[in-house]
Every structure is written in structure tokens, then in C-alpha cells.
Amino acid sequence: MKLNESGFRITAPATASLALAAALLATTSSMAQADGITITPGIEVLSLGFFASQGTGSSVENYFPDYGVNTAIRYTISAASDAGLGVRLRYFEFDETEPHFGTDRRAVFEMLDAEAFFPVFTGDSSSAEAFIGVRSGNIELSGADFGGVDPYQFEGTGLTLGASFAHQINNNFGLNFGGRYSIMAGDATFTPVSTNVLSNTIVQTFDLFAGVEYMRSFRGADLRAHFGYEVQFYGTDSVYFPFAIDPETIGDTGLMGLTLGLNVSF
């Protein structure tokens, strides 16, 4: 892990996604100058709890602290044509630290998504879209059975795809739900005595969300406020993910909780 002058992480596996993100931003900028293009920036505040599965022999509490419910942020910007074709860039970060057995334990999940989306169908009151793109992720976990500042870190990049469905109840309220599946490949670095780096590690993620939206027009812009529930699952068939949970089993972690978002289309 490296830090630039402003303190943000710069990871090698993220280079491809950052390049794609830059290309998407350039595309968004050029699309913004064209007629019939809608630009939509947005922000979500998520209230998430941290969860983990456990193998044999002990409980999760022996490996991770109770992080409680914590705030995470997601930023989104998209550009779409009148036909519903578009590109989207998303950045999510969850970063919390709690003392556990006399040592601070940290959980970090950073995900950068660069996606293209398109309509599957559009009806009078319902619509659905599908999307495909690239996800770059950084995961850091501190468990209680190994030392070090960040004993486990995974950095990887891979394919992401998913779909969402929206149904308009009336002029102002609607429902939406959907999911996203991603597979990232990269290196896992940690500090047990036996091994320092596991190369070619696979991490898969499932994201599910459902909620209600409030929509209205204001001074030439369309405002959407979203309230819902989201589940993020991180798992792998590679051992030592997270390393602190019994390594003879598959390790799985997850985040879940409420979301509150706002975006503006113009």
C-alpha cells in the first residue's frame, strides 16, 4: 500500500481501473456538452455493520471486535443518453478501527467501479437496466491472532456485472432493487510466520440492495432521494480470507445496513 501526498491510497492493481475511470470521466465531460445527455452526480451515506463467518474451534468475537454500526460513503457520477445508454463511476469506502484485546483492529473496504449500463426494458411505470464493467478493490483486515498494523491486505481487479429494477408508484414515489456480482483477482499480503504473500487470490463480492425513492423536479433538475437497505458480501475459495478466521475453512466477511442517498440529474 502506498500513500500519495494527500493521503489517499494508491494501489498497483487499481491502475487499470483508474485509467478506465479517467476515460469514463473524459467521456462524461464530452457527453455533457452534447444535446440529449443527462449528467447525474450522487452521494450515499450508509450506516453499516461488519459481519464475519467463522470456522471451527472458536467464535468470531475472538478474532474481530464489535465495530458496531458505522458510517460509510459512496460517490457516483453517470452520464446517459435519451435512449438510456450510459457510463457510471462509483467509489465506496468503509474504514473503521476499534480496540480489541489491547490492540487497535481495523477493517477497510474500498471499491472503485467503472461501468457501462443499458436498458433491458422500459414500461409505463416499470423499468430495468443491466450493467457491466470493472471493479478494483482494496481490503484490509486486522485480526487478533497475528501481529502487525494491517496483517491482511487484498488488492485486486476484475469483472463486475448486475441489474436493477425500478417501479414508479405515483408521480413522486417509487421502488427499486437489484444486485451486483464481481470477481477480483490479485495478491493477498499478511504477516504470519509461514507466508507473506498469496499470489493470484480470487475474491468474489455480492451486493444486494432494495429501497424506496422520492422524485421531484426543481429548477430544471430532477432530484431523487433514496432510502433503503444494502448487503455486501466478500468471500473467496482461497485460504486466509480473512486470514484471521480459521484458515482451514472458507473465510467470509460482509457489511449490511441502511442507506440514504441523493442524486441530481440535469
Does residue 257 have a pLDDT over 80? yes
Cα separation, 256 vs 232, whole angstroms: 6
Q: How confident is the model at residue 24 (pLDDT cuts 50, 70, 90)?
A: low
Q: How confident is the model at residue 59 (pLDDT cuts 50, 70, 90)?
A: low
Does residue 19 have a pLDDT over 80? no
As given in the structure block, the three cell numbers for residue 135 are 471493479
Query: Residue 5 in contact with residue 149, Cβ under 8 Å?
Result: no
Cα separation, 38 vs 84, whole angstroms: 9
Query: Residue 128 in contact with residue 163, Cβ under 8 Å?
Result: yes
pLDDT of 52: 80
Q: How confident is the model at residue 60 (pLDDT cuts 50, 70, 90)?
A: low
SS3 track for the chain: CEECCCCCEECHHHHHHHHHHHHHHHHHHHHHCCCCEEEEEEEEEEEEEEEECCCCCCCHHHCCCCCCEEEEEEEEEEEEECCCCEEEEEEEEEEEEEEECCEEEEEEEEEEEEEEEEEEEECCCEEEEEEEEEEEEEEEECCCCCCCCCCEEEEEEEEEEEEEEEEECCCCEEEEEEEEEEEEEEEEEECCCCCCEEEEEEEEEEEEEEEEEEEEEECCEEEEEEEEEEEEEEECCCCCCCCCCCCCCCCEEEEEEEEEEEEEEC
Cα separation, 48 vs 32, whole angstroms: 34
Identity (one letter) of the amino acid at 192? P
Angle formed at CA 68 by CA 226 and CA 45, multiple of 5 degrees = 20
pLDDT of 66: 81
List pLDDT tens digits, range 167-219.
Answer: 999 999 999 999 999 999 998 876 654 556 777 888 889 999 999 999 999 88
Rg, C-alpha atoms of the chain: 20
Domain ranges of the chain: 2-265
Under CATH, to which class is 2-265 assigned? mainly beta
Query: Residue 186 in contact with residue 201, Cβ under 8 Å?
Result: yes
Does residue 230 have a pLDDT over 90? yes
Cα separation, 223 vs 216, whole angstroms: 5
**Mean pLDDT score across all residues of the chain:** 81
Q: How far is CA 73 from the centre of its chain?
A: 10
Determine which of 19-23, 76-80, 138-142 has the lowest per-residue pLDDT on average.
Answer: 19-23
Cα separation, 223 vs 53, whole angstroms: 39
